[in-house]
């Protein structure tokens, strides 16, 4: 069974929600993340690593691999972040920032599209044979020296595997960020900001032996929580949590919280 | 003796050309909001040959560049590097050395293949002081859009 968690790994945006920034042309970024998801009965732990490379200032390639420490025996299906698969998948993704309007000092609007392919590191997930999947998302946002906001939505589709098929996963995220005046010190002083992140997930039904799975593990959820991001030179650290404010889980585990911490280094 | 004269003349011309260069550039950068953004831009700019020092300010939204003697940097190269980092390079305050020429009643100065046309909104008292020949000047280069980087600029002189 899979554990699942999430975080983003770009390093200077939100922790859970979709975001827009891409690396500089020729830029390389490494992220290491520790993540946990707690249900009523169990708690998962996972480490995840992401390498990112900026082909151009608007086009970025990423590859991410997991180290599963503890998998949930009955894991909710989730994704909800821009750069990492929710489960123990290996994923390659391309980000394309198709719109950018820098209109002032520290201010810009931009929109980014994400396309990724994942391959699982396990054979079954929740009793369903798990296959490769594709994921697409789009997000748009505003950044300034004081305020940030991103809104986005995505969709993950799992291919059929031996008469089984995991249900698809539409999701959406909304993030508001703020940097207080006390953290307005100029570069190279440390730079801190706080986010309020929200995430809504609407997983579809899985197919088991060609039929809709009798065990309905769909669980519509809305989760909200804070995250914090600190940046200093080439380093970034972010940490945060999400808590469910709405759960419509027919069967399967009720979530209690998700924790995540991410360390970034820009090479 | 004639050959010696030619060598001297050529040396003077080449010395004059070599001395035409940017001295200092305060480049306005739009869209840069975070420490890694500034770090990446600073590192990218430092990779360019011909720089003496670079300082990036998030709060000012500017990159301050002092250029080394005998550099062959251009404003276009600097703005291209800003763009490669995902930001928008806009106006710049430029100090440069070069040969001021007047053609068709317009003043211009060429530096490393770039042409800075002296803007007509340069203060009259400064315009009145201009004369052909070597000059060091400081001015404001306006760049409202950076989609098309080019090698021809308008400069409003603020100091000579």
Q: ipTM value of the model?
A: 0.78
Higher pLDDT, B146 or B98: B98
* pLDDT for A4: 36
Give the largest CA-CA distance in chain A. Answer: 59
Higher pLDDT, A174 or B145: A174
* pLDDT for A196: 97
* pLDDT for A83: 66
Q: Is B38 helix (H, G, I), strand (E, B) or coil?
A: helix
Q: Are A169 and A77 within 8 A, CB to CB? A: yes
* pLDDT for B6: 57
Residues of chain A scoring pLDDT < 50: 1-10
* pLDDT for A78: 77
ω before A188 within 30° of 0 (cis)? yes
Q: Are A24 and B40 within 8 A, CB to CB? A: yes
The answer to whether A236 contacts B33, with C-beta atoms less than 8 Å apart, is: no
Higher pLDDT, B62 or B144: B62
The answer to whether A106 contacts B87, with C-beta atoms less than 8 Å apart, is: no
Q: Are A120 and A131 within 8 A, CB to CB? A: yes
Is B50 within 8 Å of chain A by CB?
no
* pLDDT for A230: 92
A249 Cα to chain B: minimum distance (Å): 39
pLDDT in tens, A198-218: 999 998 888 888 888 766 666
Mean pLDDT of the B19-32 span: 92
The partner residue sitting opposite A102, judged by closest CB among B31, B56, B84, is B31
Mean pLDDT of the B127-132 span: 91
Question: What is the spatial distance between Cα A199 and Cα A36, in angstroms, rounded to a whole number?
Answer: 16
Domain architecture of chain A: domains with CATH: 28-266 (2.40.160.40)
Distance of CA B12 to the CA centre of its chain: 23
Structure-token pair, residue A238: 């972010």
* pLDDT for A12: 67
pLDDT in tens, B39-70: 999 999 999 999 999 999 999 999 999 999 88
Is B27 within 8 Å of chain A by CB?
no
The answer to whether A108 contacts B33, with C-beta atoms less than 8 Å apart, is: yes
* pLDDT for B5: 59
* pLDDT for A143: 92
Closest by Cα among A70, A78, A69, A62 to A6: A78
The answer to whether B36 contacts A104, with C-beta atoms less than 8 Å apart, is: no
Second-level CATH architecture of B19-159: 2-Layer Sandwich (3.30)
Closest by Cα among A259, A16, A3 to A137: A16
For β-strands A219-232 and A191-201, DSSP reports them as: antiparallel
Question: What is the spatial distance between Cα A94 and Cα A97, in angstroms, rounded to a whole number?
Answer: 10
Residues 69-88 (B) with a CB less than 8 A from some CB of A: 83-88
Higher pLDDT, B147 or B80: B80
Question: What is the spatial distance between Cα B125 and Cα B105, in angstroms, rounded to a whole number?
Answer: 17
């Amino acid at each position: 069974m899979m554990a699942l968690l999430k975080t983003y790994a770009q390093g200077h945006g939100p922790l859970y929600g979709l975001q827009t920034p891409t690396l500089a042309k020729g830029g390389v970024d490494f992220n290491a993340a520790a993540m946990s998801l707690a249900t009523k009965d169990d708690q998962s732990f996972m480490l995840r690593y992401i390498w990112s490379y900026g082909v151009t200032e608007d086009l970025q390639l990423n590859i991410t691999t997991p180290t599963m420490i503890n998998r949930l025996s009955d894991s909710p299906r989730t994704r909800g972040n821009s750069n990492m698969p929710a489960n123990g998948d290996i994923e390659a993704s391309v980000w394309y920032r198709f719109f950018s309007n820098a209109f002032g000092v520290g201010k810009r609007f931009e929109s980014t599209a994400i396309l990724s392919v994942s391959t699982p590191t396990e054979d079954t997930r929740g009793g369903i044979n798990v296959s490769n999947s594709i994921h697409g998302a789009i997000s748009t946002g505003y950044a300034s020296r004081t305020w940030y906001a991103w809104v986005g939505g995505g969709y993950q589709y799992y291919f059929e595997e031996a008469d089984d098929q995991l249900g698809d996963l539409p999701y959406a995220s909304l993030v508001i960020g703020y940097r207080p005046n006390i953290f307005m010190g100029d570069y190279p002083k440390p730079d801190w900001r706080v986010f309020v992140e929200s995430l809504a997930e609407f997983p579809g039904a899985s197919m088991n032996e060609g039929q809709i799975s009798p065990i309905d593990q769909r669980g519509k959820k809305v989760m909200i929580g804070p995250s914090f991001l600190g940046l200093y030179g080439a380093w970034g650290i972010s940490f945060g949590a999400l808590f469910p404010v709405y759960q419509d889980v027919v069967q399967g585990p009720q979530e209690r919280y998700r924790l995540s911490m991410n360390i970034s280094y820009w090479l | 003796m004639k050959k010696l004269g030619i060598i001297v003349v050529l040396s003077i011309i080449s010395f004059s050309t070599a001395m035409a260069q940017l001295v200092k550039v305060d480049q306005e950068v739009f869209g840069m909001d975070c420490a890694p953004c500034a770090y990446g831009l600073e590192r990218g700019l430092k990779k360019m040959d011909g720089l003496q020092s670079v300082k990036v300010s998030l709060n000012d939204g500017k990159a301050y560049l002092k250029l080394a003697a005998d550099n062959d940097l251009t404003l276009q190269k600097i703005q291209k590097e800003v763009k490669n980092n995902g930001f928008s390079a806009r106006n710049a305050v430029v100090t440069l050395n070069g040969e001021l020429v007047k053609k068709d009643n317009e003043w211009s100065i060429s530096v490393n293949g770039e042409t800075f046309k002296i803007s007509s909104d340069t203060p009259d008292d400064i315009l009145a002081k201009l004369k052909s020949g070597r000059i060091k000047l400081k001015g404001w280069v306006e760049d409202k859009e950076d989609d098309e980087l080019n090698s021809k600029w308008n400069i409003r002189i603020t100091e000579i």
